[in-house]
Every structure is written in structure tokens, then in C-alpha cells.
Amino acid sequence: MDMLDRDLQSVQAVRGLVRGAREAQKQLMEFSQEQIDRIVEAVARAGYDNAVRLGQMAADETGFGRADDKTIKNQFGSMSVYEAIKDIRTVGVLHEDTDAKVADIAVPMGVVAGLIPSTNPTSTVMYKALLAIKSGNAIVFSPHPGAKNCILETVRVLREAAEAAGCPQGALGCIEILTMESTNELMRLSDLILATGGTAMVKAAYSSGTPAIGVGPGNGPAFIERSADIRLAVKRIVDSKTFDNGTICASEQSIVTEDCIKEEVAAELLRQGAYFLSAEEKEKVSAVLMRPGGTMNPRIVGKSAQHVADLAGVRVPADTRVLVGFETEVGGKTPFSKEKLCPVLAFYVEPDWEAACETCVRILRHEGAGHTLIIHSNDESVIRAFALKKPVSRILVNTSGAPGGIGATTNLFPALTLGCGAVGGSSTSDNIGPLHLINIRRLAYGVRELDDIRAPRAAQPAAQLSGGDEDALVRAIVSKILHNLERRAT
């Protein structure tokens, strides 16, 4: 088939998927909470039971990350998310205040477009499928071309489990002929876009004319303050940055620390598998981190520290877990100050926590505003000062960035779509859950009459005015209004 035929066929196929999804969603809207929850549980268990196989498929197909870590992400995206949402009411009356005489009623969005990245493909399908069905919506997935097969297989597994539990056919769909035209048509025809992926894709979602929930780039600095448990702080950072080779956007991108503890922090990094690059080696690694236009080089995404070093022509010990480069600058010409979805970290040293605070802000303002910051400290006053100043949606304290941001090692809502708020170009700053995929219809009974809320007259009561006095007062008011209108007109 030539390119034109392929484009046309892909668009036609999407239209069929959306039609089927709409019919399925009409049926879902009639389901009880119990029926919805039965399907959701079946989908979660299917994802969990296939977590190992699908994790291996994702690693093999994309070449990103590690199969065992993708298994953990699949388990998180299925059963951890299920445990968080299973008791949330999403059907019918959600809340009623009998005293105030108001009630909240759930209204599903309709058909959701689920855009899936290549970095976390199978786990994100599980997560978005659970959110969509739990909220009474149908969902059609648009796979990243680099992860098409593992995404299609994940959708098949979940769809079969859902339909066996009573889900209408068509509620879980997936594009098979992948073109830009098919994704654009899906975004145009859907009722809500749930966009997880690169900046260009998220911008396209917001520009589509369809309501969208998107994310922004992560570039989280991790501040190690002098009161921190340095050994534990470094362990958390290295474990996070090497988990699935750094493909979770909430993972740490820089370490910022104070001059008085820099040697202790550096020594602990060395003990835990970090390799500090020389100035010459850092230049070589910088050259492979970004493409000429300043965007991330896909050849380093989800690769090990050893692989990145080899690409750069730098020899490092075989047991190296993460590459670290000393840095003082922030900006477009400083690759180490940007998001790096691989085990590479910048290392900044500042004289005190106030200066470190400003450096974190500079890093985030350059890239990553609205996303995540991590602080390791036992000084509550410093923690609170950071919380009040940082342009982020998540400040994680004494935990790892990647699992902390998605809610695995914190009590944030378990999610694989992390909003970045207005400062990060997102429509929300939340970790996205099923209630983000419904509208609220509000039922409100009248409790006051219009006469009850009319403002009393400022002048004396009308009963004390004669007919002539009332006429004069009205003429005076009208004259003043007309005079003011004439002045504005001129």
C-alpha cells in the first residue's frame, strides 16, 4: 500500500474504533457501580498476571530500560492503581449534602484518547485502561510506533479480561495502522485526551481542539541539605536514577548540595557506584546527550550508564551505575542541566541552602517547571522554605524521585500521568486519577428567594416619601446615569 492509501486507511480505521467506543460507552453509562468495579478488578488482575511477560516484551521491543523494572511498573500500573481506586465512587450520586441541599452526580466524559509513550508503554496502558473504565468511559489507545507490538498485546490481554467480566465490546480499542493522521483524527473525534509522552505530542494534544490532560518534561533537582542522612540520600537518588535506567520523568536529573558536605556526598556517590567524569569526559558525554537542536538524543534514553559512556567514547568501570558531571551553569547550551532519561546526573555545589534553593529554581525555570523536586533534609524549617518557593507540583522529602513522584514510595495518588499545573503548561497539577475523567453535574435546591437577597434601599423607606419626592429622586438618578454614559462616550 502506498503512503496515501495507508494514511486514508488509518483514518478510516480510527473512525470505526471511535464509533465502536461510543456505542460501548453508552452501555457503560447504564452500568451500576458494582458492574463497573467487577470489570476494573478483572482488568487489574489480567495486567498483574501478565506483568512479567509484558515487561519483557516492552524491554525487547523498545530497547529502553530493564525488563525486571518494567515488570515492577506493570505491577504498579495494574494492582497498585487498582487498590487506590477500587473504593472510589464514580457512578451516580457521588456526594449529597442534605443540609445544604446540593448533590454531586458523576457524568463520564465519553471516549478517551489514550496516547502511550515508548518509555513506559505496557504499564501506562494498564493504568489508563483502569482509569477510563472506572470512570465509565471507553478508551482508544494510540501507541508509540516504537512500542506498537507490546502495546497491542497489552490491550488485547486487558480487553479479553474486561469483556469476560461483562464489559461491552469496543470499550478498549487500539490503533493498529500507525500514522500521524490516525492519531490526529483520534484526538479530533474523542471527548478527552489523556496525553503522556514527549513535549511535541503533548502540545499537539492541547492544540487539537479537544479537552486534554497532559504532562510536562521532568527535570527534577535533588537537594541534599547538611542535616540529611547522606548515605541514605545518595542511595535513594542512585536507586531512583537507575530504576528502569531513568525512564520515569520524576527521576532525579541533578544533585545540588552544600559546600560544607560536598566531599561526604561525593565520597558516598563513589561508594555506591557513581563515576565522576573529568572535564574532558564530561564534554564527550554532553555531545551525545542532546541532538543539535537541543532535544534529547533518543539513543541515550533508557540506556545504562555503561552504554552511554560507550556512545561517548569514555571508559568507565564495569560496575558503574551512574555518570556524574560537575556543573555550574544552567541553560540550553548546558546538556547536564536538562532532562536526561538515563543514569546521568549533574552535580552542583552551593555555599548554603539559600543559594541551593535559587539554583534549584534556575534549573526548574529552564526546564521542568511544574513537575517535581526532591529534598533530603531533617531540618523542617528548610523543607518548608523549599515547599513555599519552588515552581513544582510535587516536592518529595527524604524519598526517591521516580517511585516517590508516581506514588509508590509516598502517599501521592498512584499514577503514571503527572500533571505539571499552569506553570508547566498542564491543565492540572495532580497525579491523574479516575475523577479527572468525569464531569460533575450539580443538583441544587433553592433555599432563598430573590426578595430575600435584594439589597435594602440606602435612602429612607419609600413610605416616607411623597409621590413628588419619589419622582424627583428617580429623575435625579436617571440624569446622573445619562451624564456618566455621555462622559464615557466622549
Supply the pLDDT for residue 268: 98
pLDDT bin (cut points 50, 70, 90) of residue 48 is very high
pLDDT over threshold 70, residue 117: yes
Residue 450 lies in a domain: no
Report whether 250 contacts 404 (CB < 8 A): yes
Domain that holds residue 105: 3-216+433-442
For residue 482, the model assigns a pLDDT of 63
Average pLDDT over residues 267-293: 96
Q: Is the pLDDT of residue 468 over 90?
A: no
pLDDT tens digits, 228-266 = 999 999 999 999 999 999 999 999 999 999 999 999 999
Q: Is 357 a catalytic residue?
A: no
Task: Give every CB contact of residue 248 below 8 A, 6+ residues apart in sequence.
Answer: 73, 119, 120, 402, 403, 405, 406
Question: Which CATH number belongs to the domain containing residue 382 in this structure?
Answer: 3.40.309.10
| 56 in the same domain as 29 | yes
Confidence of residue 28 (pLDDT cuts 50, 70, 90): very high
Contact 435, 108 (CB under 8 A): no
Range of weakest confidence among 318-332, 373-387, 447-461: 447-461
Q: What's the pLDDT band for 176 if we cut at 50, 70, 90?
A: very high
Q: Please give the share of the chain, as a percent, with pLDDT higher than 90.
A: 84
Give pLDDT, residue 489: 58
Q: Flag whether 468 is in a domain.
A: no
Residue 461 above 60 pLDDT? no
Q: Which residue has better confidence, 462 or 102?
A: 102
Residues 6+ apart with CB under 8 A from 272: 234, 235, 238, 321
Domain CATH for 124: 3.40.605.10
Residues 277 and 384 occupy one common structural domain = yes
Whether the predicted pLDDT of 128 surpasses 60: yes
Is residue 97 domain-shared with residue 208, that is, in the same domain? Answer: yes
How many Cα atoms occupy the beta-carbon half-sphere of 152 within 13 Å? 10
Is there a single domain that holds both residue 232 and residue 183? no
Q: What is the pLDDT of residue 478?
A: 62
Res 85 pLDDT > 80? yes
Range list of H helices, 101-249: 121-134, 148-164, 180-189, 199-206, 230-242
The pLDDT, as a whole number, for residue 216 is 84
Q: Are residues 158 and 233 in the same domain?
A: no
398-440 pLDDT, tens digit each? 999 999 999 999 999 999 999 999 999 888 999 999 999 999 9
Q: Region 351-377: what's the mean pLDDT?
A: 96
CA-nearest of 335, 341, 326 to 277 is 326
| Grid coordinates of 303 | 540506556
> What's the grid cell of residue 207?
492544540
Q: Determine the pLDDT at residue 485.
A: 62
Residues 356 and 397 in one domain: yes
Report the relative pairing of strands 252-258 and 344-350 from DSSP bridges: parallel
pLDDT of residue 192: 97
Q: What is the pLDDT of residue 487?
A: 64
Confidence at residue 389, expressed as pLDDT on a 0 to 100 scale: 82
pLDDT of 180 reads 93
* Among 249, 342, 357, 420, the one annotated catalytic: 249
Question: What pLDDT is attached to residue 470?
Answer: 65
Whether residue 380 sits in one domain with residue 328: yes
Note whether residue 334 is domain-resident.
yes
Q: Let me know whether 266 and 149 are in one domain.
A: no
Q: What is the pLDDT of residue 19?
A: 97
pLDDT computed for residue 203 by the predictor? 86
- 164 and 130 part of one domain: yes
pLDDT tens-place string over residues 197-235: 878 888 889 889 999 998 888 999 999 999 999 999 999
Nearest to 167 by CA among 36, 53, 321, 79: 36
Quick one: DSSP state of residue 263? H
Q: How many domains does one find in the chain? A: 2
| pLDDT of res. 5 | 85
Q: Do 277 and 162 belong together in one domain?
A: no
